[in-house]
Chain A
């Protein structure tokens, strides 16, 4: 048992490091790469605040996707919003004492878990049913859905059918903060659930999950439409002027 606990402790240290370092590296890379030309997809906001509003609509409501494809939007939004609720619910393992808001949303987190699985199933079925999407799907696209669905299903199974000792789990993760390795319940479902989550954390900065930070750096969405009013010039382009 000690071996498993040690293994998972190491795994989560490693996964957390890869996730943080990898994401930081990508975000810095995106941030320092210049956008030499004004390319917002118009009609676009003409003020900074307008852009903030546009981004909020994209991030919260998936506005462009809504215009693009209703089925993908329904499944995609259901999955993401479900995942958001599930994440909030899981904060109880990582914060002590548990904030009141997090206590309040606990039941919604369960609905979120169900929504997440339904959304994923819908998205995956489109990869088989729609010939165009079947054509563009690589193995990694299927595996990504399998991974997320695995996380969702093992979680729901533990919630509804095979209960685990959540107090011990919390002790384990709280211990990691202080570099103390506390025993993890030797439950196969839990092991699988945590393994998949760690895998997700590790591949995040190397995969299409980069769409999350990517959206915030997308010039067609985050630029203000004011090229005539303000001269916009990248440092490398400035050098051409001498």
Chain B
């Protein structure tokens, strides 16, 4: 690990609210997007001449388009209920990382230009002009929000800082001040089809490798098809699932579940990405453009159902927005919700008794579960509110003998973000990511001490990557984070079919 210039916070046995330290994270800002990453998204390549006027005009436009922004900028009474809820505040003590502190960066500009009180008495109501200094604060602190919505749970008016962060990023993009990480990635989706920029042949290679590995270890021929026209199910999964541990073990698990279900399925090289970074930058247009790729792939491949792999923000866009952005889905099988989560699919099969597990395969682990923020607070699974908490836990219980939850105040809808969500999963924000992970690391460390937990399961590509990276800072191992379908993959008892034998014979003959 490279030497870092910041101090890693010490873990504590419960959530400690720090004293405020103004300016503690003022130096944190991600790399700015150069022209090559701005223009493919329809944004100016560099900061425009009359940026102040343009930014205020854009803010006015968004106020007319988003009721959330309009109401939330007016409604805050500064009650303080949110002030100790953000993981970035708890990890850094910077008051501009308190949700209300972050909102106020935009609210004080809103008041100055859009309210009578702020026009007449700016000092009295804390209204300010949009200056260079304010813009710098925006760029810094609106990139210290992972849009996890924990603040919105506790706000008496449901004010969601994510809505304000998204609007701020959209305003900044529109004047040519964009973030490199997000915008470069969106460009890759347009050009190649996924965030990691993995081209079709590389995907096919990987999947073929997986097929061989699974056959070698199980003796069962599980298929991992891509671009197969006429398959019943289109699986859309984060591209990290093709690429790295522990993500890829999850993908292996999905394939085994489909195999046992006896359904035909396929991935798409055109829509080889579940995540939709258009949401992070608050851009409806870009979010829609990315979502439409899934529609096009579904039409081309003539599938009947769409299922999403493990990914948090992706599931938010899929569950909550896909119908809006790329619907209606009247050409798909109406018996199933569009889209479905892989956990819903696996859970249904478990309920129907169609999957057999040997739980002892996971006996070397004691598991806890991390509720991914956008699954927990911005989506649902199954028919009942809260299914997003119960269904993954039910799958864990069906596949493992040892499972313990973390402290109630840090799970379900009060879960903490991993610290890397919302477009912050980049090395140029490492200090923020490490510090922002502290509340989750505290809770994890506690169950490790008290219950002997060895592994934490997540259902989000960002969570998995972030934890693998930051856990070593806290003295833990990077492989202590697992995919949920990795547990499924370990424990599932695969049914041998006749062609499995034949293939074995073929292999034997070849020897």
Residues of A within 8 A of B (CB): 26, 29-30, 33-39, 41-46, 58, 62, 64-65, 67-69, 72, 76, 123, 126, 130-133, 135-141, 143, 203, 206-208, 210-211, 214-215, 217-221, 225, 227-234, 236-237, 240
Choice from B116, B322, B385 contacting A43 with Cβ under 8 Å: B385
In whole angstroms, how far apart are the Cα atoms of A43 and B67 in the complex?
21
Choice from B76, B98, B322, B324 contacting A36 with Cβ under 8 Å: B324
Chain B residues with CB below 8 A from A230, complex form: 323
A75 to chain B, nearest CB (A): 10
| A69 with B81, Cβ < 8 A, contacts A41-B377, A135-B95, A210-B75 known | yes
B side interface size, CB within 8 A: 74
Of residues A37, A123, A131, which shows the largest number of chain B Cβ atoms within 10 Å of its Cβ?
Answer: A37
| A33 with B70, Cβ < 8 A, contacts A214-B157, A220-B152, A232-B323 known | yes
Binds A, one of B121-129, B356-364, B476-484: B121-129
Whether A231 lies near B115 (C-beta < 8 A) is no
Chain B residues with CB below 8 A from A132, complex form: 17, 20, 80, 83-84, 95, 98
Interface string of B398-427 (1 = CB under 8 A from A): 000000000000000100000000000000
Whether A231 lies near B323 (C-beta < 8 A) is yes
Closest-by-CB residue of B relative to A208 is B77
Whether B160 lies near A68 (C-beta < 8 A) is no
Chain A residues with CB below 8 A from B123, complex form: 139
Whether A72 lies near B81 (C-beta < 8 A) is yes
5 contacts between A and B (CB under 8 A): A39-B320, A43-B388, A131-B20, A139-B123, A237-B284
Total A-B residue pairs with C-beta atoms closer than 8 Å? 217
Whether A220 lies near B78 (C-beta < 8 A) is no
In the A-B complex, the 9 residue pairs with the closest CB atoms = A68-B154, A214-B75, A68-B81, A43-B385, A220-B158, A138-B126, A133-B80, A132-B83, A65-B156
Whether A208 lies near B285 (C-beta < 8 A) is no
A79 to chain B, nearest CB (A): 11
Choice from B71, B156, B328, B388 contacting A68 with Cβ under 8 Å: B156
| A138 with B125, Cβ < 8 A, contacts A35-B67, A64-B155 known | yes
Whether B153 lies near A136 (C-beta < 8 A) is no
Chain B residues with CB below 8 A from A207, complex form: 117, 125
Interface residue? B321 (CB, 8 A): yes
Interface residue? B163 (CB, 8 A): yes
| A228 with B319, Cβ < 8 A, contacts A42-B385, A218-B71 known | yes
Chain A residues with CB below 8 A from B337, complex form: 228-229
In whole angstroms, how far apart are the Cα atoms of A149 and B378 in the complex?
39
Binds A, one of B40-48, B58-66, B215-223, B257-265: B58-66
Interface residue? B7 (CB, 8 A): no
